[in-house]
Structure 1
Amino acid sequence: MKKITIAIDGYSSTGKSTVAKMLAKELNYIYVDTGAMYRAVTLYAMRKLFIKEGYFDKEALVRHLFMVNVKFALNADTGLGEVLLNSENVEREIRTLEVSNFVSQVAAVPEVRKLLVMQQHEMGKDKGIVMDGRDIGTVVFPDAELKVFMTATAEERARRRFEELQQKGEDVTYEAVLENVQKRDELDTTRKDSPLKQAEDAILLDNTHTNIEDQFHILLQLAKDRIYGRC
């Protein structure tokens, strides 16, 4: 059975990572959450005080990039990959709203994108991979056999993210989460380097009113069509 590259792009909090993990597990493919990679670099910048509210020393971050190592390690209990920042498991730390507030600024730095895109290319050189992010189908793997662009209303995405953060015990308000979603949309779609946009040959999936199981089955069928040459 031939292997393909599956690129899933889209707005924040559309459930890209969740459905991508499910798809990779079903196909026995490697899953890469590129958003987590940018979150890890953001966490590094925050710890070094290169970025905080109203302040971002891009030059300092760029000078330190050679010291930033981002990898994925398999959690034996969950069977899922978790993010290591310089050998430290930071999976929980990178999912906070505070990191979310800064990640789009960090992701807009060309040197950061160049470094991580290079690593992403290496991860996917043998195919058999499901990768999600903002520019996978347009920049990282423009020749991917299956490209999907996921979207939903900002209000629905904020509701999902708010419930997720509440379940993790974070003290946040829906209004703050909605503001973060809208701000990230603006930054992601207007940045000069690799802005978020739908690839011309990507399939649009608006999941505002679609549950995760239905999304999974839609993507699984699309993947099988390409794997078995039915499209």
Structure 2
Amino acid sequence: MQQPLVIAIDGPAGAGKSTLGALLADRLGYLYFDTGVMYRALTLAALQEGVDLAVPEEVEDLAARIVIEVAPPREADGRQYTVLADGVDVTWAIRSPEVERGVSLAARYPGVRREMVRQQQAIGRRGRVVMVGRDIGTVVMPDAPLKIYLEASLDERARRRAIERRQQRDPRPLDEVRFDLARRDDMDQHVLRPAADAVMLKNDGLSPEAEVDWIMDYIAGRAG
């Protein structure tokens, strides 16, 4: 196939979407766009402006007037992209514990999701982007020329997430991590579905680098 200018990556929590997306974007020289950062930037703005995250109308109003931009890295500080909220660099600020606690609440409102999807689509239409998140191939960029649905067994995802947690000094038991992922899968049932034309990639036992190689072979017409 011709090299796609937009690649959408979907899949359940813990499947490795972010790792694959970043590596694939780097291989292609594309923008890596984790769409979840938009909800984090909105949450940060709400906290800074004193917007009550428990009041849908206030959060939706903020979503309608804030401009969130995701661009290639502008600083050599380890970032994978630059996130701007109304022109202000918030790339690292959106990773604060306060944002982490509030983002799931802000992201649940329909008006917020509609506006964030609109801004995500605007970035996607520029092309040369690997987009990772929820509903990318079915809602955000349904016309993406290449859609990848990344799969992994619950046990494999739990194993990876437990390792990741330990690296972050959070030695959570494997059974607890597995339970949390299963609960997340249940909550995400409405979005855990691949687009009809998605390429299914089960990555149990595959390294992220091997996944990228397989996708590059697929684009070149060498993979089954």
TM, length-normalised to structure 2: 0.78
Q: How does 1:145-156 map to 2 (within 5 A)?
A: 145-156=145-156
Confirm whether residue 207 of structure 1 aligns to residue 203 of structure 2.
Answer: yes
Matching residue of 2:69: 71
Q: Distance in 2 between matches of 1:209 and 1:95?
A: 33
Give, as a single letter, the amino acid of the residue that structure 2 aligns with 1:126. R
Matching residue of 1:132: 132
Confirm whether residue 217 of structure 1 aligns to residue 222 of structure 2.
Answer: no
How far did residue 183 of structure 1 move? 2.6
Matching residue of 1:166: 166
Q: SS of the residue aligned with 1:121?
A: helix
Please tell me the root mean square deviation across aligned C-alpha atoms, in Å.
3.3
Q: Distance in 2 between matches of 1:197 and 1:116?
A: 20
Matching residue of 1:107: 107
How far did residue 44 of structure 1 move? 5.5
How far did residue 200 of structure 1 move? 0.6
Count of residue pairs brought into register by the alignment: 219
Q: Is the 8 A contact 1:104 1:187 kept in 2?
A: no
Q: Distance in 2 between matches of 1:95 and 1:23?
A: 27
Matching residue of 1:143: 143
Q: SS of the residue aligned with 2:189?
A: helix
How far did residue 123 of structure 1 move? 0.9
Q: Is the 8 A contact 1:146 1:222 kept in 2?
A: no
TM, length-normalised to structure 1: 0.76
Give, as a single letter, the amino acid of the residue that structure 1 aligns with 2:219. A
Q: Is the 8 A contact 2:51 2:58 kept in 1?
A: no
Q: Is the 8 A contact 1:5 1:146 kept in 2?
A: yes
Q: Distance in 1 between matches of 2:181 and 2:43?
A: 17
Matching residue of 1:6: 7
Q: Is the 8 A contact 1:104 1:188 kept in 2?
A: no
How far did residue 141 of structure 1 move? 1.4
